[in-house]
Amino acid sequence: MSFGHGGPSGGPAGQPPHGNTPPHQEGDDTARHPDPRSTPPGRDDGNPWPGQAGRSHTPGQDGRSPGNGQYGQPARRPVADMPPVQLVQPTPVTAPTPASAPIPAQGPAPASAPGRFPLPPLPPSSAGPIGSSGSTAGTGPNGSTGPTGPTPDWSALADAAATRSRRKRLLYVGGGVLATLAVGALVATAVVSSGSPSDGKNAALPSAESLPAEGNAPTPSFSPVAPPPPPDPKEFISHAQKDRAPLSAATLFPGRTLALEGRTYTKGATHQTNECAATTQGALGGILTRNGCGQVIRATFIKNNTAVTVGVAVFGTEAQALKAKEQVKDGIASLPGSGVPTFCRNGTICRKTANSYGRYAYFTVGGFTDNKTDVTTADKSVYALGDDAAKYTFLRIHERGRAQASAAAASGTVNG
């Protein structure tokens, strides 16, 4: 039996060269456009191929030369001793499936369907857990896959994801706090250790061995008697026995000016005498004498066309000075001189004051230096000059007592 390109030549008429080759079907492009290699025009021995009985072929009818194959190619001759071609039915591959859902193996096509191609093997099924619910996927009727188990619990999965996110945020916050504390500790350590031993700050501190023992340390002692209170300056100017400091016009009215609260007045003449009545006008001389006046010190101050004279009468006790002030009539006589003309004389109305502090009684008389103009309450300059002179005299007497009190406290003779 010889073989051509199309198969064995001994096949029965009307059968395809191969038993498994399907017949022509509708829509098959192979029937409409035959393969030139599978439909030769004729055999070399002049006999037609099976199935071509009754068909004649004249060489050269289709434009081909005799002895040539289709489309002018040389005719192919059968290959001798070629074994017959057999179609081997492919063995389907069975994919592993879960034990609970076995898939039957795909066998060859049934014998009752001659001419059909064998069905391709089923694709292997993918089995395994999906998500957290343990569902499996199998092969559907059309080759599609789908879940064969229960639906995953999406709410539980969302809760688990939220829990993990919160845990991460807490870890980040805790890590930031720990990092901040660590940086602060490092900075504090650097500040504490920045001072070197050679900077001399701790050089004066004694060592632990040189500190005195607790039993040998001296303890402070306190006197059970409270210290005496500081002496009162008025106490030293209230009686002649304690008021022993030098007393004169220079010590009572020092300097050449009277300065008080930003106002300044020029000092004129000063006078000191034991004849107290000779320094007064009217009835004041007799009052001073009866109350034990020892001396009178006077000083005059001037500013522009106004002037004032201050007279300080000195007594032995505070009671005597206070009594003289209470009995006062008329006033002290003005003291002209040293550039100050006569004022407050010949019946001119002037402003007069009287006061006392300690054993001292002091009086003022002030007016205009023309010795003609009477003083009224509208003359503020005269009032201001008289008030400043009286206040200055009081401060000078108080300073006399303060100085003696300080000296007595320093010497320890407060009660002497």
For 85-244, where are the alpha helices, taking DSSP H only? 154-192, 233-236
Rg of the chain over CA atoms, in angstroms?
A: 73
Q: Torsion angle, CA of 234/240/244/250, rounded to 10 degrees?
A: 80
Q: Is the dihedral of CA 32, 37, 42, 43 positive or negative?
A: negative
Q: Is the dihedral of CA 172, 176, 177, 181 positive or negative?
A: positive
> Quick count: other Cβ atoms within 10 Å of Cβ 333?
22
Q: What is the pTM of this model?
A: 0.48
**Contact call for residues 94 and 105 (beta carbons, < 8 A):** yes
Name, in order, each residue with C-beta under 8 angstroms of 11's C-beta and a sequence gap of 6 or more.
Answer: 17, 50
Q: What is the span of the domain harbouring residue 362?
A: 241-409
Q: What is the pLDDT along the chain (416 residues), one digit of tens a residue?
A: 444 444 444 444 444 444 444 444 444 444 444 454 544 554 455 555 555 444 444 444 444 444 444 444 555 555 555 566 555 555 555 555 444 445 554 455 444 444 444 555 555 544 444 444 444 444 444 444 444 556 778 888 888 888 888 888 888 888 888 888 888 888 878 776 765 555 555 555 556 556 556 656 667 776 677 667 778 899 999 999 999 999 999 999 999 999 999 999 999 999 999 999 999 999 999 999 999 999 999 999 999 999 999 999 999 999 999 999 999 999 999 999 999 999 999 889 999 999 999 999 999 999 999 999 999 999 999 999 999 999 999 999 999 999 999 988 888 766 55
> Quick count: other Cβ atoms within 10 Å of Cβ 170?
10
Residue 156 located in a structural domain: no
Residue 339 located in a structural domain: yes
Residue 319 located in a structural domain: yes
Residue 276 located in a structural domain: yes
Residue 375 located in a structural domain: yes
| Number of separate domains in the chain | 1
Residue 31 located in a structural domain: no
Residue 72 located in a structural domain: no
Residue 288 located in a structural domain: yes
